[in-house]
Amino acid sequence: MDGEVKLLTLVIPVEDDKRVLLGLKKRGFGEGYYNGFGGKVEPGESVSEAAARELEEESELRSPKLDKRGVLTFHYDDKPKPLEIHVFRVSEYEGVPAETEEMRPEWFAFDEIPFQKMWADDALWYPLFLSGKTFEGEFYFENTHDLKRHELRETTT
Ligand SMILES: CNc1ncnc2c1ncn2[C@@H]1O[C@H](COP(=O)(O)OP(=O)(O)OP(=O)(O)O)[C@@H](O)[C@H]1O
């Protein structure tokens, strides 16, 4: 595994370009926050394999098409390694979202996303994500939760 960063995935299902499926995280890192579905990339897995696995484990949805949209890097003053999160959009899937041990899923209209109950960076990059852009960013946190500064740019594919 890469020793410089911790690789993670984040998968956000989008319906009809109007609603996103988020889950209320019930345990672990980010407990009590709404977020997309994702987690650590395991040894021997590609990033997109990990994204598909986590989507299924945490929401019970399966998708043949995960569309990579961005890479976000989070730096912490209180953790040794940055997190590198690969963000995917899913608009075709099979199954019905179900509550799992880790997440309680809920649909939100694009203009009703509960940013006050999400990580501070989300309000910054979701507008790019929702408008179909691709992006990359660096975010610097203190005490795990306080976002001190960031850089964010749209990328060309
Ligand atoms: C700081 N700003 C952030 N903004 C948006 N999303 C963030 C995030 N920081 C972490 N995330 C996501 O939170 C999940 C943690 O996953 P996490 O529970 O640690 O992983 P995993 O399910 O592998 O863990 P266990 O197997 O329970 O150890 C994972 O989707 C990751 O992308």
Q: Where are the domains of the chain?
A: 6-155
Q: Is the CB of 50 under 6 A from ligand 1?
A: no
Q: Is the CB of 10 under 6 A from ligand 1?
A: yes
pLDDT for the residue numbered 2: 56
C-alpha span between 34 and 37 (Å, rounded): 10
Residue nearest to atom 1 of ligand 1 (CA): 119
Place of tokens 């020793």: 3
pLDDT for the residue numbered 73: 98
Tell me: ipTM over 0.90.
yes
Q: For residue 57, give the ligand 1 atom closest to its CA.
A: 22
Distance 2 CA to ligand 1 centre (A): 17
Q: For residue 74, give the ligand 1 atom closest to its CA.
A: 1
| Radius of gyration (C-alpha) of the chain in whole angstroms | 15
Q: Is the CB of 11 under 6 A from ligand 1?
A: no
User: 9 phi and psi, to 5 degrees?
Assistant: -120, 155
Model-level pTM?
0.96
What residues in the chain have per-residue pLDDT under 50? none
Q: Is the CB of 30 under 6 A from ligand 1?
A: yes
pLDDT for the residue numbered 82: 98
Is-contact 25 59, C-beta < 8 A? no
pLDDT for the residue numbered 75: 98
pLDDT for the residue numbered 1: 53
CATH 3.30.70.600 fits 6-155, yes or no: no
Distance 29 CA to ligand 1 centre (A): 6
C-alpha span between 46 and 51 (Å, rounded): 9
Distance 83 CA to ligand 1 centre (A): 9
Query: What are 86's strand-pairing partners?
Result: 9, 71
